[in-house]
Amino acid sequence: MISTEETVMKTATEEVTHDLIRGDFKAEEAAEFINHMLSSKINFHHRRDFSSQIRFGENDHDSLNRIDELKQSREEIVELLEYAKANNIDLRISSTISIQLIEENAI
């Protein structure tokens, strides 16, 4: 197991990636976790926008734009999942997260 300090040092000098999703899934399984993931992301941005409205009296336009993007993605994915389900086709899904430390004042 890598220590936190080793992870921070590695992340400070290079991009670190981790597989979050990797496998073959039935359409129903894929729909369940993809819908949950997208709903969580959309809810996060709704809360962020609400917080901005309460604290600053204005919308968080980055979050509102991201909500629109995520809703569009959800529509496209639902269409694909419905096709896969109707035709008894499995899906191979992979998702990787890449993390890199950045310094605010770095040029």
Using CA atoms, how far apart are residues 76 and 30, in angstroms rounded to an integer? 14
Question: Angle formed by the axes of helices 61-86 and 27-56, to 10°?
Answer: 170
Structural domain that includes position 69: 25-95
Q: Write out pLDDT tens, residues 3-48.
A: 777 766 665 678 999 999 999 999 999 999 999 999 999 999 999 9
3-state secondary structure of 17: strand
Q: Write out pLDDT tens, residues 59-101.
A: 999 999 999 999 999 999 999 999 999 999 999 999 999 999 9
Average pLDDT, rounded, for the chain: 91
- Report how many domains make up the chain: 1
pTM attached to this predicted model: 0.79
Kindly state whether residue 65 falls inside one of the protein's structural domains. Answer: yes
Tokens 């997260």: give the residue: 97
Kindly state whether residue 20 falls inside one of the protein's structural domains. Answer: no
Q: Which residue type does 55 have?
A: R
Token representation of residue 10: 């590695």
